[in-house]
Amino acid sequence: MRSETDLNDDFKKQDVSLLDFLKMFPRMFVHLLLSPLFLMLVLAQCCFSSVIAGLATFLNKFLERQYSASLAYSSLLVGAVNLPAVAVGMLMGGVIMKRAGLSLKTIPRFSAAMLTTSTLLFVPLFFMGCPTQKVSEVNHFQNAQYRSLALCYSNCSCPASAFNPVCGSDGVEYISPCHAGCTNFTKDPNNTHRVQLYTSCRCMSGGQSARPAPCPNNCPHLMLPVILVISLASLIACLTHNPMYMMVLRCVSSEEKSFAIGIQFLLMRVLAWLPAPALFGTAIDTSCIWWKRVCGRKFSCGYYDNNILRNRYENLSL
């Protein structure tokens, strides 16, 4: 049986055929996986990449749902603030690696300090969020006089799939004007195809009105500080990207460097970039308190419990 030295000598040759490489692949792969330092570094990078994958996939959705921002505005903030911070962090990490000349022993200490600091910056985000708005028949039920549907909209034949949120003058949101018991409306004088106000809403005490929009939350001003904190934490965490990458190159022999890089990115995609979005998506879905339905089946989430959504999303990000 050929030794690892023989395999490395064969791998260094320029005339190694594809068949020879495929024969050497299993043994070289196992040899790298049996290296404790290499495996520990790759697993650490997988954890880091999982957080990046979750933030990259669902951060704009989190901001939209948590702070009632439009999808366009939340995506703009992510692209204009968070992504540049990540790029600057990676660039600064390379500069620090070159100027400071971090050794194989210093890199883990530097990375641990930066990642700990980044984690601590995430802690205030647990308290910087908006409560779930009051939604009739979802998380808010009126007094006994109006609790029964027979007193509100039983004669309206509201479809089960109806979802056109309106904000009542009583401060409660309703799934649709029909569910609010509204029997009349006034049109926008500037646009006759647009409803300006729903009136004579029987599900509100006194027959009040409702406007065709979800009720606003009380903390949209927190959105910009939150994205700044997330961006700062991302910048500090990304300082470790290049040092850890260089550490991988230093912990393997020169003959295995290119092969080790390939295995590293293969494992990162299989263990981080594939399962992480699914894990974050599952955590977000489990915080849903009311689902839209199409043809009697769940279609998409209409309302989330903001506190549960924030806690689960931030916990996974840590």
Distances (CA, A) of 233 to 14, 51, 56, 123, 159: 45, 12, 14, 11, 46
What confidence score (pLDDT) does residue 291 get?
Answer: 92
What is the C-alpha separation between 275 and 68, in angstroms, rounded?
28
Angle, vertex CA 44, rays to CA 108 and CA 113, nearest 5: 35
Q: What is the pTM of this model?
A: 0.82
Angle, vertex CA 68, rays to CA 65 and CA 71, nearest 5: 70
Write out the H or E segment, with its range, that includes residue 298: strand 297-304
Domain segments of the chain as ranges: 29-132+220-317, 144-211
Q: Which CATH class is domain 29-132+220-317?
A: mainly alpha
Write out the H or E segment, with its range, that includes residue 211: strand 210-211
pLDDT, tens only, 44-82: 889 888 988 988 889 999 999 899 888 899 999 999 999
pLDDT, tens only, 253-307: 887 888 888 888 888 999 999 999 999 999 999 999 999 888 878 888 999 999 9
Angle, vertex CA 49, rays to CA 47 and CA 50, nearest 5: 65
What is the C-alpha separation between 134 and 159, in angstroms, rounded?
21
118, 151, 125, 145: which is closest to 51 by C-alpha?
A: 118
Assigned token pair, 13: 């040759």
Q: What share of the chain is helix, strand, coil (3-state, %, to 5)?
A: 60, 15, 25
What is the C-alpha separation between 230 and 224, in angstroms, rounded?
10
Positive/negative CA dihedral, 71, 211, 287, 224 = positive
For residues 182 and 210, is the Cβ–Cβ distance under 8 A? yes
Q: Name the residue with tokens 């022999």.
A: 253
pLDDT, tens only, 183-229: 888 998 888 788 889 988 888 876 688 999 898 888 888 999 999 99
What is the C-alpha separation between 231 and 78, in angstroms, rounded?
9
Mean pLDDT of the chain: 85
Distances (CA, A) of 87 to 71, 92, 226, 236, 268: 23, 9, 19, 11, 19
What is the C-alpha separation between 179 and 170, in angstroms, rounded?
14
Three-class SS state of 200? strand
Q: Report phi then psi at 129, rounded to 5.
A: -150, 175
